[in-house]
């Protein structure tokens, strides 16, 4: 597993989610939002399974549409 690819996908997906839900002036930064949804402030603290689950969730909600080709599965 290339964890860096998953980190980048999650960072992009969370930023897209924040922009979609709160606009360009989102007060929550991605690490804070990551902490709220999975209880960890950094992707490096996540297991491989958690990384896959978060990417799949962001993909299924449409926040990775422009990065589909980067998703390793």
pLDDT at 36 (0 to 100) = 78
Please report whether residue 69 resides in a domain: no
Contact criterion met (CB below 8 Å) for 4 and 23: no
* 51: containing domain: 3-62
Tokens 């909600």 correspond to 61
Please report whether residue 52 resides in a domain: yes
Please report whether residue 35 resides in a domain: yes
Please report whether residue 67 resides in a domain: no
> Does residue 51 have a pLDDT over 80?
yes
Rounded to an integer, the average pLDDT of 29-58 is 87
pLDDT at 26 (0 to 100) = 57
Total structural domains in the chain?
Answer: 1
Higher pLDDT, 37 or 40: 40
Rounded Cα distance between 67 and 10, Å, is 11
pLDDT at 5 (0 to 100) = 96
| pLDDT tens digits, one per residue of 6-38 | 999 998 998 888 888 877 665 666 777 778 778
């Amino acid at each position: 597993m290339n964890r860096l690819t998953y980190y980048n996908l999650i960072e992009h997906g969370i930023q897209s989610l924040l922009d979609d839900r709160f606009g360009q002036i989102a007060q929550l930064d991605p690490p804070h939002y990551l902490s709220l949804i999975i209880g960890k402030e950094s992707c490096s603290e996540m297991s491989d399974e958690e990384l896959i689950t978060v990417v799949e969730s962001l993909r299924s909600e449409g926040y990775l549409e422009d990065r589909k080709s980067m998703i390793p599965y």
